[in-house]
């Protein structure tokens, strides 16, 4: 059998293309790994910045507002004219409202230390906060998976995914009832946040940024996130974060 030069060249060219394709795949794999590490580093940096901002709000700004309130209270007590006293009361009311907003914001930015307090306590705290601030019903259902979460980063991101899902349910869905479910099933962790609101429409921009943030947080800890219609037990929307159990160890 005689192989022509043209055929031999074609084989050589094909081998070269295969080799180039192999190298490109290897480069792509390396780049994907770099991107994954970059996302993790970015998430860690973001978490550190959140703690810095939250600490400033709680320790510095809140203390300054509290000091201002004390000064105005002393001034009010010293003033004899009734109209000036009323002005002081108005200032005190403004400061009180500012203090409430600062406390709420610092709690949003810095959750309970989930490494120290545990995920269950952090989620229960979030549940009570939602019920007290928004006057809506919020339920929490968990199982033994709580005791398997050993990574602070995983715990913190799960907390913030829950927080963001609840915020979207209230602000965009106008929900009256919310249910948080954190369970284990078939070697996977499942976090469900269900609500009875009008739902999220990412195509029309409803909750768009919040959805993007939640998906990014899920990816950073090695999980995935999806939003679907619930249509069960009176709920309409369900945000679900799925995570392999091996991701629950220290990251």
Residue 229 has pLDDT above 90, yes or no: no
Looking at residues 157-177, what average pLDDT do you find?
91
Question: What does the pLDDT look like over 39-55, one tens digit per residue?
Answer: 565 555 566 666 666 66
Token pair belonging to 17:
């293309």
Residue 207: predicted pLDDT:
55
Tokens of 251: 């990251």
Strand 224-232 with 235-244, pairing: antiparallel
Rounded CA Rg of the chain: 26
Q: Which residues contact 196 (CB under 8 A, 6 or more apart)?
A: 175, 176, 177, 178, 234, 235, 236
pTM: 0.60
Angle at alpha carbon of residue 124, lines to 183 and 170, rounded to 5°: 90
**Pair of tokens at residue 60:** 């510095």
Structure tokens at 229: 């219609």
């Amino acid at each position: 059998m005689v192989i022509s030069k043209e055929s031999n060249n074609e084989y050589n060219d094909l081998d070269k293309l295969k080799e180039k394709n192999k190298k490109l795949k290897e480069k792509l794999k390396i780049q994907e790994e770099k991107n994954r590490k970059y996302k993790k580093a970015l998430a860690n940096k973001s978490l550190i910045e959140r703690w810095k901002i939250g600490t400033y709000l709680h320790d510095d700004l809140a203390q300054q507002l509290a000091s201002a309130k004390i000064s105005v209270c002393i001034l009010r007590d010293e003033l004899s004219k009734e109209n000036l006293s009323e002005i002081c009361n108005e200032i005190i009311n403004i400061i009180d409202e500012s203090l409430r907003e600062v406390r709420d914001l610092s709690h949003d930015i810095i959750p309970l230390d989930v490494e120290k307090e545990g995920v269950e306590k952090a989620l229960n705290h979030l549940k009570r906060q939602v019920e007290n601030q928004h006057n809506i019903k919020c339920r929490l259902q968990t199982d033994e998976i709580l005791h398997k979460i050993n990574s602070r980063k995983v715990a913190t991101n799960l907390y913030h995914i829950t927080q963001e899902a609840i915020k979207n349910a209230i602000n965009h869905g106008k929900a009256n009832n919310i249910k948080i479910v954190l369970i284990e099933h078939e070697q996977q962790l499942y976090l469900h946040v269900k609500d009875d609101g009008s739902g999220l429409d990412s195509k029309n921009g409803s909750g768009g940024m919040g959805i993007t943030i939640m998906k990014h947080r899920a990816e950073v800890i090695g999980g995935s996130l999806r939003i679907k219609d619930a249509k069960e037990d009176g709920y309409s929307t369900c945000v679900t974060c799925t995570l392999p159990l091996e991701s629950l160890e220290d990251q």
